[in-house]
Amino acid sequence: MIDFGIITVSDTRTEDTDKSGLYIQEAMSDAGNNFIKKYIVKDDAEQITSAYNKLLVTSCKLILVNGGTGIARRDVTIDTLEPKFIKVIPGFGEYFRQISIADIGLKALVSGATAGITDSDQICYLLPGSTNACKTALEKIILPDLNHLIKEITK
């Protein structure tokens, strides 16, 4: 069982309309993991950083951020959080875009989805806000390899 937290980045989503955050919470919990906390923040570097910093000091070994990974000016998740990683996991984003092409075509190439290791030895995934994209990432990449990654960073 792995403790996890969620950050939903959106200018429009609320607790009632956050389908991606709810999907992530349910899928991770159904897989036997332990939900700690979820934050819903605006597409704003300060709000994103604040939520991220709060999760850094919890028991979470996994932080799942959804939203703000596209190419619009308001999409600041990647620019805000990737520099905070002590190591980037480039293969996640590469593979995510590769398998997403089968679902949505070349539109997948504009996703900045990535992952990295925090300075608190947590894995942090930066995912698109689309529920379908979150489902692809969790079912095809994150959940199948999660125990291996946790073991690797705690060596």
What CATH number should be reported for the domain holding residue 21? 3.40.980.10
Name the average pLDDT for the chain. Answer: 95
Q: Which residues of 57-78 are buried (b: 16+ CB within 10 A; e: fewer)?
A: eeebbbbbbbbbbbeeeebbbb
Q: How many helices (H) and strands (E) does the chain have?
A: 6, 6
119, 104 Cβ separation under 8 angstroms: no
3-state secondary structure 14-64: CCCCCHHHHHHHHHHHHCCCEEEEEEEECCCHHHHHHHHHHHHCCCCCEEE
Return d(Cα 50, Cα 61) in angstroms, integer. Answer: 18
pLDDT, one tens digit per residue, over 136-145 is 999 999 999 9
Question: What is the total count of domains within the chain?
Answer: 1
pLDDT at 142 (0 to 100): 97
pLDDT at 15 over 90: yes
Range of the domain at 119: 3-154
Tell me the mean pLDDT in the region 38-58.
98
| Other CB atoms within 10 A of residue 139 CB | 12
Return d(Cα 150, Cα 148) in angstroms, integer. Answer: 6
pLDDT, one tens digit per residue, over 108-121 is 888 999 999 999 99
128, 68 Cβ separation under 8 angstroms: no
